[in-house]
Structure 1
Amino acid sequence: MNDSSRRTFLRGAGLLGAGAAVSALPALGAPAASAAFGRGPDTEDGRFTLAVLPDTQYLFDADRGDPAPLDATLRYVTGGDENIVFLAHLGDLTENGQPGEFDQISRSFQHLDRRRFPYSTLAGNHDIKSSTDDQRGRTPYLDAFGPQRQRGSRTFRGASPDGYNSHHVFRAGGREWLLIALDWRPSAGGLGWARSVLARNPRLPAILTIHELVWADEAGQAQFSEFGQKVWDELVDGNDQIFLTLNGHYWPPGRMVKRNKAGHDVHLHITNYQDRYYGGGAMIRLYRFDLARNVIDVRTVSPWLADQAPRLNELQRQEIERTGPADYFSLEIDFESRFAGFAPVPVPPARPAERQLIRGTVAYWRFEGRDGAPVDGVRDLSGRGNDLVRVTLPGSAPEALRFSGEFSPRQPSRSSLRFDGGKKPARGGYLRTADSAPMNAETFARGYTIEAFVKLPEDFKDGKHSWAAIFGRQGSGGKAGKTGDDPGEPSATLSLSDGAAFQWAVFPVNQNGISTCWGHELALREWIHVAAVNDGRRTTLYVDGCAVLRNPKTPAAGIANPGGSWLIGAYAYDSIVEQAFHGWLGDVRVVGRALDPREFMLG
């Protein structure tokens, strides 16, 4: 929503004007009262926030400033609502760099000091003499915010000899992150110091903060300043650890993405609001990392103004939150892939097969073979004799069903099967239980758990693979004596719809028709765990350990037995295989009882 449309929305919702009685952003009110003094953020939570505070100079401008907006922002940062793990100031703390101005802003930052809340600062061109670099010597900035102030910080790791460049290591999302804060004009020695910090922390993803690097046009498209190009060439480009840079100085805000020498994206952002109402009102950027979603959600807010709602006029309400594309956006970053060049995630070793043979195991198959080699058959590791034999559909090559070196990191084994199947005509290869397999006679009257690891390729939704099955029976419901619904359907099938949603459809022993559990549409190119669990009365479908919504409540006991084999990687209608699966299949286990999700093979 752009600013003009947002204004129309707020007026239509009755949120503009002096008489408004509702805050536009109630979530940005005062910090939660439950946030205990001194209690830190949750550093193991995969969702955490980096707070970024740009130029506050007009709030500390001789006798023309006002510390109240900054005080409100710092209270919000320590309030505990956003799991904020660190605050980075981008320079120009003051307008004139005078001792009295630094005395004022220093008092505001004591709120963080008393709580030992981690933060970094750096000198902007208004904090020092702008014609100098980091060799300028002692200044009021250094007296107030030099290394001596950070000695008690749990994240501070040191500063350059001149004191103007510093680095912090903070913990968030269960790992450590490096943040480097560089002076307005780092010298050759200062840039060398930054390179040495990266070299001493070679496995840490790094965020660079500096006062000047990029500037943006009115459309929010950023580009390097002359000095910023120098910093890119001499520091950022050749150090793959740096994935995000943040600077102030210029306005309007903007961003760009540039590839470094390693061929990886670096996100470069300019954020500054000093040109706006009340010198920006100590507005902050909140970088909300979500490691599970591989996303950083970015929003720009003014806690000071939000605290005052509903006592705001129209101008003030427009400044509570910035929602243009340069201020409110999301970055998609595959963190594991982006950091793999310097911090690869170690692959845990395979878990022993015998550890998967829990009470009630009927069959356990893991697909271990040379990558790319055709599959002939697979032994049942449960020891119960439910071995699998290969079937190749007419006209299909042996490679249509082969071993693969790909695997889900959460599954016990370290390999999988690759199926290259399809339909109309039926093609590919699949596996079936041998004629002598004891499982062929099972009805699972007391319950069951069928679980597997699955990955779908990019082209799965091209219309050629809908209703492909990863597991089920070849025999139909009709052969099991059922006459309800469509008796030609298999007595049990775990299939995938044309939208790549799981469907567990079964003719229970105690019903004449089909009982169906429906999942949601799945992501492609990602490993997924699926489990169908029946406790002898009802069936629940799980995806990645979570119960889906559309599970039937009508009692359903067991699986009607039509005779014949169970199939892996094939769907049969009226007992005739119509298509083989298309994708990857990891470990498969069948247990003759309902498992608690904590017992799944998810590790």
Structure 2
Amino acid sequence: MSPLKLTTSALFAAGVLSLGGPAAAVSSFGLAVLPDTQFYSRYATPAEGDQFENRYGSDPYLAQTRWLAQHAQALGIPFVVHLGDVVDQQDKPAQWEVADGAMKVLEDAGVPYAILSGNHDVTVGCGYVGRQDDCTDAQRDLSKEPYLKWFPTTRAQQNATFGGRDPSGFHEYHVFEAQGQRFMVLALGWRVSDAGFAWARSVIKANPTVPVIVTTHDNLAIKSDARTALTTPYSELLWDRLIRDNDQIFMVLNGHNHGAAHLSSTNDFGHKVEQFVLDYQMAYQGGNGYMRVMEFDLGANRIKALSFSPWVPQKPQDTLNQFDVAVMTDENNEFSIEMDFAERFRGFNPAFTAGPDNREESLTETVRNLILADYEDVKPVDPVLPYDADDYLRAKDTLAHWRFVGTPGAPVADGGLVEDLTGRNPLKRVPLERGALLGDAVWSADHHALSAANGSVCFTENSNQGVRQSFFQTLDNVPLNDNMLRNGYTVEAIVKFSKDWTASRNQWMTVMSRFGVRGDLQGFLGGWKGSSTLQFAVSNLREFQWEPTVHVGGQAWVTCANENQNCTFPGTAQVRYGANGQYRYTTGEGSVSCSNATFGDPVSGVAKSCAYLAESLYNSKTNWSGEIMIDTWQHVAIVNDPVTHDTTMYVAGAPVLRNVQNADGVAGFAGKPWLVGGAAAAGSSANGFLGCINEVRISEGALSPDQWLTARKTRVTGTGGRQGITGTSGDDLIISNAAADTVTGGAGADTFVYRTMRDGIDTITDFVPGEDRLNLSGVLASIHYSGSDPVADGHVRVVDSASGAVVQVAASAGAFRTLVVLRGVSAARVAASSSFVF
């Protein structure tokens, strides 16, 4: 931790922070910005597992507002703006309660703020598509809008800065004072109607000398490079209807679109309007508490920005990882732009001046010191790269492990097989269909740096368009097809999204699925019945989606039709017909007509319905990651606890925010295949994966991170001279000395490394063929062997001896020297394919 422990009071005492006095050299003030808090509000509720409190003992929304309540006045931050999407689901009161509590902290501290509605905060949140007769404030029933109940005009009026709201209640303005000058914040909620625009213009007109900052939920977007701002149809509407001909508007802030970017535009007066988008919800932990301070340095004629998290330093030390960066320093989150304020405002406020100096260092620097006073970012641990293709940890209960390794550049054969390292569940490429070509799936040498599998399969044409689909499926009658993963599981996949990924063609592309649709499972209670029983997919926002069909209980009657309709159901089931506890029953297969003609009339004069008896009940539950970058290898692990059935997704080793509880199993249809790289049902296929897949492993039980594919075997190295070398009880990589050693691997799958002929002649006391390996790549390199099969080429052989199998290496054909003796093992058991790494 930093030896410097600074609080606001300490800063004052040390002279680092000053709001007046002869030493001051900066005239500035700050505007605090709270971007989308929707995930903070949602995942701090009991319904979503109170995930922040349970994992960290605190929550980010409260951390933000408490930090502002504690420091805003002393730091010279006179105002706070919220950019909308206060909650994630507007119909969930518990989420509004979280937001209510967080914003009340500001009210209790006397810190004024402006808040506005995002699309998640209103009952109908559709976006702008070139028309103003849908989804604006003018089309809403105001009496049914939760935002107006939780943040009514009466609440906004408690702020001393409050100027007024429009008749809909969705738009408001405030005027605050800083450095002897007045500034307006014009907060425009989702979406502005024609009347709303007229109201906004009238407010500006009524305050003709006041510089205006517009805040709104949607305005700029961000290009796929994650750095460059992009105008949108709605931003152009705002520009044309409000901004371009109102010279008082000099800044626009919005959230909604994920990331951070800046665009400088020129209005009709030839003056700059600085526009900023910031929304961190798709970052680690739903935003990790990130907010921003915008510093208006009136003396130096600059606007400075710093994005930071007051929550990260509060987290327990043992929860921190490389994603817990307290202060963001990239160019879109820490920057400074020029603005000559007096010149920029001269046209409407010729008397504008900077005001007296009030601090001796910039506000952004003081904020940085405060945040980092008791915190240091976690230094990333240098990963241990695989020594060879066998340098990964075996999971003792592995159900299937597929490594996609082939001849680089070659197409995957039609019907070509991918070995399952357990030997039980091989995959095959599905037959070419719907115009698919052989070259649409090719082998590549590209792979994740931490994967010991030295290759991948790359799908170059897959899309959601239903044509040219290439993927793999398990063979018929393999054991995995019947496994519903009811004993907990760990699913790992190492994948990379293509740089050509687009939402329009590749949203909901599939990493892995099971054959068949969940609506055909008798007793499925959820929605989207046409979806696969397992969706390990990628959303339109490039999030990993893990959505299995899960077991939720025993028998129940499932309503299937109203009177005179057809009741359909999977398989054979008992069906009842009636109302008010009076029923008649029959047994049907597939469907039954829900009518008096079929059942007779159990009760006259009332509307009746049918229901079938489901022997098992199912629903779906979903884990979501944050936004995943294209053209970047990612390791994702989904871990389901065998006792609680709570499921946690990890991306790049870090837990995501949106996890689920009590998700029992991955239901499917017994005997039906698993699919990798696509989804299929009833012979049709869709949503193939565009990109590369390195390896996939399914294990029973909950593996910890030190057991994942990205973990390495324990390094055991001799200390020199002839000695006994003993491994651990786990998987080891044992490097011998240049002497005759006696080596015992111990339990686990061990790799014994020999680098030169001088490393022999060893005796390995417990070599297990098929589980342990001999790595002879260094030895073969030392004798300048460059072939691919040293056994067939006469450079490696295994012969029997009284002590066991003897492994010998020849520098030239026939000149064999003994390298190692495998005690108690016959030569016949030492197969080249499973016992050596060349």
Q: TM-score, normalised by structure 2?
A: 0.36
List 4+ stretches of structure 1 deviating above 4 A: 29-35, 41-45, 309-312
Pairs within 5 Å for 1:387-398: none
8 Å CA contact 1:69–1:281 kept in 2: the answer is yes
* Counterpart among 163, 168, 171 of residue 177 in structure 2: 171
Q: CA distance change for structure 1 residues 211 and 30 in 2, over 3 Å: closer, same or farther?
A: farther
Residues 193 and 151 of structure 1, relative CA distance in 2, 3 Å threshold: same
Indicate how the Cα distance of structure 1 residues 244 and 309 shifts in structure 2: closer, same or farther if over 3 A, else same.
farther
Q: Does 1:154 align with 2:147?
A: no
Partner of 1:493: none
Q: Determine the structure 2 residue equivalent to 1:180.
A: 186
Asked if the contact 1:295/1:331 (under 8 Å) is kept, the reply is: yes
Amino acid at match of 1:181: A
Aligned residue runs from structure 1 range 244-259, under 5 A: 244-259=251-266
Aligned residue for 1:289, secondary structure, equals: strand
8 Å CA contact retained: 2:80, 2:113: yes
SS of the counterpart of 1:270? Answer: strand
Are 2:214 and 1:220 equivalent residues in the alignment?
A: no
**Could you tell me which residue of structure 1 aligns to residue 75 of structure 2?**
82
Matches within 5 A, 1:503-542: none
Deviations 1:115-146 (A, max 9, x none): 22100110000111203211311311111112
Deviations 1:452-502 (A, max 9, x none): xxxxxxxxxxxxxxxxxxxxxxxxxxxxxxxxxxxxxxxxxxxxxxxxxxx
Instruction: Show the counterpart of 1:121.
Output: 115
Distance 1:302 1:286 in 2: 11
User: Which residue in 2 is equivalent to 1:53?
Assistant: 34
- 1:110 pairs, out of 104, 109, 118, with 104
> Deviation per CA, 1:501-550, whole angstroms, max 9, x where unpaired?
xxxxxxxxxxxxxxxxxxxxxxxxxxxxxxxxxxxxxxxxxxxxxxxxxx
The amino acid across from 2:86 in the alignment is L
Does structure 2 conserve the Cα–Cα contact (< 8 Å) formed by 1:244 and 1:267? yes
Distance 1:310 1:83, change over 3 A: farther
For residue 289 of structure 2, what is the aligned residue in structure 1? 282
Matched, 1:345 2:326: no
Q: Distance in 2 between matches of 1:158 and 1:177?
A: 15
Q: CA deviation at 1:246?
A: 0.2
Report the residue type matching 1:122 in the other structure. Answer: L
1:480-499 paired onto structure 2 within 5 Å = none
8 A Cα contact 1:55 1:91, kept in partner: yes
The question of 1:313 aligning with 2:320 is answered: yes
Secondary structure, in 3 states, of the residue corresponding to 1:204?
coil
SS at match of 1:271: strand
Where does the alignment leave 5 or more consecutive residues of structure 1 unmatched?
1-20, 36-40, 348-603
Partner of 2:552: none
Match of 2:199 among 193, 199, 209: 193
Aligned to 1:48, the other structure's residue is in SS state: strand
> Amino acid of the residue matched to residue 134 of structure 1?
D
The residue number in structure 1 matching 2:137 is 134
**CA distance in structure 2 between the aligned counterparts of 1:43 and 1:165, rounded to whole angstroms:** 36
Aligned 8 A contact 1:69 1:304 in 2: yes
Tell me, in whole angstroms, the C-alpha distance in 1 between the residues paired with 2:198 and 2:285. Answer: 38
Contact 1:30 1:307 in 2 (8 A): no
Q: How far has the Cα of 1:33 moved from its partner? A: 8.3
Contact 1:214 1:228 in 2 (8 A): yes
How much has 1:68 moved relative to structure 2?
1.7
What is aligned with 1:358?
none
Report what 1:293 is aligned to. 300
Structure having the higher Rg: 2
Q: Secondary structure at the match of 1:84?
A: coil
Please give the alpha-carbon distance, in whole angstroms, between the structure 2 residues aligned to 1:33 and 1:169: 31
- The offset of 1:308, in angstroms, is 3.7
Tell me by how many angstroms 1:31 deviates: 6.0
CA distance 1:115–1:276, shift in 2 (3 Å): same
Q: What amino acid is the match of 1:202?
A: P
Kept in 2, the 8 Å contact 1:58–1:95? The answer is yes
Residue 310 of structure 1 deviates from its aligned partner by 5.6
Mapped partners of 2:63, 2:352: distance in 1: 43
The 1:122–1:76 alpha-carbon spacing in structure 2 relative to 1, beyond 3 Å, is same
Structure 1 counterpart of 2:329: 323
- 1:109 CA displacement: 1.2
The answer as to whether partners of 2:213 and 2:250 remain within 8 angstroms in 1 is: yes
Distance 2:87 2:63 in 1: 17
Separation in structure 2 between the aligned mates of residue 87 and residue 119 of structure 1, nearest angstrom: 4
Q: Which has the higher contact order (CA 8 A, sep 6+)?
A: 1
Q: Distance in 1 between matches of 2:238 and 2:8?
A: 38
| Structure 2 match to 1:68 | 59
**Structure 1 length-normalised TM:** 0.50
CA contact (8 A) 2:61 2:102 kept: yes
1:206 Cα shift? 0.4
Task: Check conservation: 1:93, 1:124, Cα contact below 8 A.
Answer: yes
Q: Distance in 2 between matches of 1:346 and 1:22?
A: 42
Unpaired runs of 5+ in structure 2? Answer: 13-17, 53-57, 127-134, 354-838
8 Å CA contact retained: 1:43, 1:85: no
Give secondary structure in 2 for the equivalent of 1:300.
strand
Instruction: Tell me the C-alpha RMSD between the 2 structures.
Output: 2.5
- Asked if structure 1 preserves the Cα contact closer than 8 Å seen for 2:289 and 2:312, the reply is no
Instruction: Work out the CA distance in 2 between the residues paired with 1:342 and 1:43.
Output: 29
DSSP 3-state at the match of 2:262: strand
Rate the CA distance shift 1:282–1:313 in 2: closer, same or farther, 3 A.
closer
User: Kindly tell me: are residues 229 and 346 of structure 1, through their superposed partners in 2, closer, same or farther at Cα, counting changes over 3 Å?
Assistant: closer
Percentage identity across aligned positions? 33
| 8 Å CA contact 1:166, 1:182 repeated in 2 | yes
- Aligned in 2, Cα 1:294/1:312: closer, same or farther, shift over 3 Å? farther
Return the alpha-carbon distance in structure 2 between the equivalents of residues 333 and 191 of structure 1: 27
Three-state SS of the structure 2 residue aligned to 1:60 is helix
Partner Cα distance (2:196, 2:274) in 1: 22
Contact 2:216/2:253, CA 8 A, preserved across alignment: yes
